[in-house]
Amino acid sequence: MKDELVIEGAYAKQYTDWMVKTGGYARDMTMRDWYMGTVVQGLLTAEIVGDYSNEHVVEIARVITDAMLKERNK
């Protein structure tokens, strides 16, 4: 027998709408969150980043992410 997820009540419609819309991924993730995550991943693979604090890496990622979103919105 196949495993099935059973959800009841008012939450069921919200859950179903979310699953249809997103395929089940990133329920509360914004585009900015996604961009920031990918930028951080890229930065962490760069050898030079080892010389920076976590806070500095996050600040660099913020600047890059903001620039990406600004360019996207043109």
Neighbours of 41 (CB within 10 A): 10
Q: For the segment 8-49, what is each residue's pLDDT rounded down to a tens digit? A: 566 667 766 767 766 666 667 788 988 999 998 888 888 776
Report which DSSP code applies to 73. T
Full-prediction pTM beyond 0.75? no
8 secondary structure, DSSP code? -
